[in-house]
Amino acid sequence: MEPCEFPDIEQQLAPIFERHGRESSRLLQILLDVQEAFHFIPPEAVTCIAGHLGLPRVSVEGAAGFYSFLSLKPAGEYRILFSDNVTDQMLGNPELMQYFCNKLWLEPGKVSEDNLVSADRTSCTGMCDQGPAALVNGWPLTNLDQDRLDLIAELIRSKEPISRWPPILFEVKDNIRRADVLLGDALEPGVAIKAALERGADATLREMETSGLRGRGGAGFSTARKWSGCRASPGLAHYIVCNADEGEPGTFKDRVLLNSYADLVFEGMTIGAKVMGSAKGFLYLRGEYRYLLERLESILARRRATGLLGRDILGVTGFDFDIEVHLGAGAYICGEESALIESLEGKRGRPRNRPPFPAAHGYFHQPTVVNNVETFACAARIAAQGGKWFAAMGTRQSSGSKILSISGDCARPGIYEYPFGVSVKEILDDCGGEDVYAVQIGGPSGILISWKEFGRCISFEDLPTAGAFTIFKRGRDILQVVRNYAHFFAHESCGFCTPCRVGTQLQKKIVDKMANGNGTSSNLEELKHLGHIMRTMSHCGLGHTAANPVLDMLDKFPGAYEKKLKNLAFEPAFDLDSALETARKISGRDDPWAHLP
């Protein structure tokens, strides 16, 4: 290898390189460490990393430019990102961000002149039950108010290291309000693995089949079918991946599972490893949950020390399996399983063509199972308590329980676990939702239901959800809610395919236009047409679902936009007179002759 042309930087990077080795799959982890050390990725570091990993410089720069938590330009010693989620907005985050910026003489999105601090917005940070929330250099700040921001501004002015900030600022509560079979009685570590070993791999897979377990990450695919497909696929190695990207706004149940039930999740992955003959697993942890990393690493270390991970697990010769935690860096698309695998390989998170599916061609083209955090927790319970026990709960097509992340307009936001089949009304009664007008089930990519539908049930047959349950009371502006979601999709589209890249931008602009009172009924037709194109022609699930909230609003909440339309009758979408406003300003004219009739 050629010596790096920037020896000073190379020397500073040496401990990072030593920690991660030379595998190109470590690129994202190296970039995250460089970001932490330098508060951005200096161009000289890009060159050194490329040399160290034997990659073209453009690949390193391309990856660094893709993830929103990495910055190729200086972003300040303290980088504050305010959560842009709709519930954080409802709790006053836009005003709090403005307050903070005024306090420190900052312009949103720009770094202070002394390079000390910057403030900007970010997609949902997964703290909707304890917002308003933000991140400082990746660490979560909860329950923000002006007093806390005054304190934070003071700490920044005095350049106090974040490790010495008062812990109360970073307090994250579980807020478990209702526990059922998953979150109820604790399962002693190792019990489920022992049960699986006693049964054997074939019989354990049969238990999964009997249980009827379906994936909890959203799509609801049969876990037993996924596992048996992966098991039957030939390859040099089989991989188990736990999807803890949890980027769907309004979802935070995986945060709680990883904080307080990580043993159950690792146990489920280890049982998967036994069934599929895998020796290596990954937990893909969203960057927003970086604060959980040390805790998870220590649980993994304890499991290794007690024979529940590593070589010859529980004394069974040849049963070797270990788990590595891989951090994400602020990209919703990396929750999509093929994009996640690309990211695990150290690349930009760009969704792959499917088929082939990951079960046959996944991590480095080897058979790979990707399951949600909650799915693995269920698998552990099933191994310990049996498939029939699990299948006896829930509904015909949705066995077991579902953990919901409840936020928005209710007295008791938090985590609620119910057997499948529970009605929306029952949930609203439990969490103290009064005078509720609408609920967004499953986050922006899910379903927006109106008060007329509160008799409907959480289940794959009726209202499927990965967990988000966001409540809006009467008086909330549904057009603003949908606008927030339209902005989210436009921001998170990876830009790979045209229907989604252009469609999400156009959708955002039209919804903005409507919210600003300039919409016409032709815009409604345009939105429907765009929605159809995105649903049918996009490359991946993000584009397929990006129009859901808009189309649900058009269908179920006409009152939310009709009052704001400029003209209900058909009218061209383009308002030529408004478009001439800039020209009028430049020429300093505003007389009647400068306007169109």
Ligand X SMILES: Cc1cc2nc3c(=O)[nH]c(=O)nc-3n(C[C@H](O)[C@H](O)[C@H](O)COP(=O)(O)O)c2cc1C
In the complex, the residues that contact ligand SF4 under the rule CB under 6 A are 333, 351, 493-497, 500-501, 538-540, 542-543
Binding pattern for the stretch 313-352 against ligand X, x by CB under 6 A and - elsewhere: -------------------xx-xxx---------------
CB 254 to ligand X: min, Å? 7
Structural element, H or E, at residue 285: strand 280-285
Closer of 30 and 323 to ligand X (Cβ): 323
Closer of 94 and 541 to ligand X (Cβ): 541
Q: Rounded distance, CA 588 to CA 581, Å?
A: 10
CB 421 to ligand SF4: min, Å? 32
Q: Which does 221 bind (CB under 5 to 8 A by kind): ligand SF4, ligand X, none?
A: ligand X
Instruction: Give residue 339's Cα distance to chain centre.
Output: 13
Q: Rounded distance, CA 559 to CA 478, Å?
A: 9
3-state secondary structure of 416: strand
Quick one: tokens of 463? 């209202």
Closer of 77 and 374 to ligand X (Cβ): 374
CA distances from 546 to 245, 248, 443, 493 (A): 18, 12, 11, 9
245 binds ligand X (CB under 6 A): yes
Near ligand X by CB under 6 A, which window of 182-190, 255-263, 539-547, 585-593? Answer: 539-547
CB 548 to ligand SF4: min, Å? 13
CA distances from 14 to 47, 72, 204 (A): 14, 20, 45
Q: Which does 371 bind (CB under 5 to 8 A by kind): ligand SF4, ligand X, none?
A: ligand X
CA distances from 124 to 1, 249, 296 (A): 42, 5, 22
Sign, Cα dihedral of 399, 405, 408, 411: positive
Q: Which does 30 bind (CB under 5 to 8 A by kind): ligand SF4, ligand X, none?
A: none
Q: End-to-end CA distance of the chain, in Å?
A: 71
Q: Are strands 468-473 and 401-408 parallel, antiparallel or unpaired?
A: parallel
CB 220 to ligand X: min, Å? 7
Q: Which does 337 bind (CB under 5 to 8 A by kind): ligand SF4, ligand X, none?
A: ligand X
Amino acid at 73: K
Closer of 332 and 557 to ligand SF4 (Cβ): 332
CB 49 to ligand X: min, Å? 27
Structural element, H or E, at residue 45: helix 43-53
| Cβ proximity of 429 and 191 under 8 Å | no
Q: Rounded distance, CA 447 to CA 311, Å?
A: 45
| Cβ proximity of 141 and 291 under 8 Å | no
Using CB under 6 A, pick the residue from 131, 218, 503, 531 that binds ligand X: 218
Q: Which does 500 bind (CB under 5 to 8 A by kind): ligand SF4, ligand X, none?
A: ligand SF4
Using CB under 6 A, pick the residue from 85, 228, 270, 372 that binds ligand X: 372
Q: Which does 496 bind (CB under 5 to 8 A by kind): ligand SF4, ligand X, none?
A: ligand SF4
504 binds ligand X (CB under 6 A): no
Q: Rounded distance, CA 326 to CA 40, Å?
A: 20
Closer of 253 and 280 to ligand X (Cβ): 253
Q: Rounded distance, CA 472 to CA 440, Å?
A: 8
Closer of 299 and 340 to ligand X (Cβ): 340
Q: Which does 182 bind (CB under 5 to 8 A by kind): ligand SF4, ligand X, none?
A: none
| Cβ proximity of 420 and 467 under 8 Å | no
DSSP 32-89: HHHHHHHSS--HHHHHHHHHHHT--HHHHHHHHHHSTT--SS---SEEEEEE--HHHH
- Residue 593 is given by DSSP the state G
Using CB under 6 A, pick the residue from 375, 395, 465, 484 that binds ligand X: 375
Closer of 204 and 538 to ligand SF4 (Cβ): 538
Using CB under 6 A, pick the residue from 197, 308, 370, 560 that binds ligand X: 370
Binding site for ligand X (CB under 6 A): 215-219, 221, 243, 245-248, 332-333, 335-337, 370-372, 375, 540-542
